[in-house]
Amino acid sequence: MFVRRTARRWAQVGASALVLTAISLTAPVAQWAVADDCPIAEVVFARGTDEPAGMGRVGEAMVNSLRRQTGGLPIRTYPVDYKATITQRHSGAGAKDAIDRIKSTADSCPDTKIVLGGYSQGASVVNIVAGFDGVNWGDPLPRKYMDHVAAVATFGNVAGRTGGATPTQDSPLAAKAIDLCHPSDPICHDGPGNSWSGHTEGYIPVYTDRAAAFIAAALLTHGTPRYGSQPSYAPQPEYGRGPGPRQPRTVSPTPPGPTPTAPDPYYGGFI
């Protein structure tokens, strides 16, 4: 009887040890799975008119450049789901989809930094989400979620001709925005020398690289770890105004103080 009870006790102890061992082995796996579901950054991007479903050429180029400039920072992408047709009637639906995605990511992954971007008609989607002036086809992102947005980048944005360049507008996201307009793009540039090719072909790689540099600077702050050896997120020399052909410009966040309103004859927007 004693031998039987002793054997039963050892069997129970052994089973308990196996359970504890299984817990210790599986717990780290579960933690990593949660971490994988919440990347350091997520890019929510709206493609341009008539581009196939997805991020679009400009969005893909910007994200690829962003990954290079951050040394391989874990970045998830979300292509805004909307009909980017020539009729320009679906920006409101795109804004709703983008807002739903931002809310979902912010609620489930509060530490993930969100980047909002758009090209052409996709820039109009961004304008609605950000609550920029001149666009009233839908409700903007609720303010409590705007803190989760680390940066905003628009390309070929018609708001530059209607409501003013995005960094100059009255929105909590204006200070986090960069607005890029090719100097011959008739969608965003009001002046001589416009050509449709400036809108369709003028943004890769110079402008997408410049937007990526701006976004990388926003992501690599507040303790965000760098990946790789030497991530570079400063604008490169060729983007400046050195010798040679005049280089494209961007509208950067406005510093504290009165908003400059003098028109720039070259850029066609505000500085």
Would you state the pLDDT for residue 169? 83
The answer to whether residue 105 scores a pLDDT higher than 90 is yes
Would you state the pLDDT for residue 251? 47
Backbone φ and ψ for 203, nearest 5 degrees, come out as -110, -15
Would you state the pLDDT for residue 225? 52
Which of 65, 91, 120, 124 is catalytic? The answer is 120
**Would the CA dihedral through 95, 96, 100, 103 be positive or negative?**
positive
Told to judge if 185 belongs to the known catalytic residues of this protein, a careful annotator would answer yes
Would you state the pLDDT for residue 144? 96
What tokens appear for 268 in the block?
A: 């066609």
Distance CA 18, CA 254 (A): 61
In Å, what is the CA distance from 262 to each residue of 48, 57, 163, 164? 29, 33, 15, 12
Distance CA 63, CA 215 (A): 10
Would you state the pLDDT for residue 222? 56
In Å, what is the CA distance from 89 to each residue of 118, 219, 235, 268? 16, 33, 36, 26
Q: Quick one: average pLDDT of 113-124? A: 97
| Helices and strands of the chain, counted as H and E runs | 8, 6
- Band the pLDDT of 101: cuts 50, 70, 90: very high
Residue-wise pLDDT for 203-262, tens only, equals 999 999 999 999 999 999 855 555 443 333 333 333 332 333 334 444 444 333 333 333
Q: In 146-159, which positions are buried (b, 16+ CB within 10 angstroms) versus exposed (e)?
A: bebbbbbbbbbbbb
Told to judge if 90 belongs to the known catalytic residues of this protein, a careful annotator would answer no
- Type of residue numbered 11: A
Distance CA 43, CA 152 (A): 10
Told to judge if 199 belongs to the known catalytic residues of this protein, a careful annotator would answer yes
CB 163 within 8 A of CB 127: yes
- Domains located in the chain, CATH noted: 38-251 (3.40.50.1820)
The answer to whether residue 24 scores a pLDDT higher than 60 is no
Distance CA 267, CA 157 (A): 13
- Band the pLDDT of 69: cuts 50, 70, 90: very high
Residues 6 or more apart whose CB falls under 8 angstroms from that of 227 comprise 70, 71, 72, 73, 74
Which of 65, 97, 179, 185 is catalytic? The answer is 185
What tokens appear for 122 in the block?
A: 């996709």
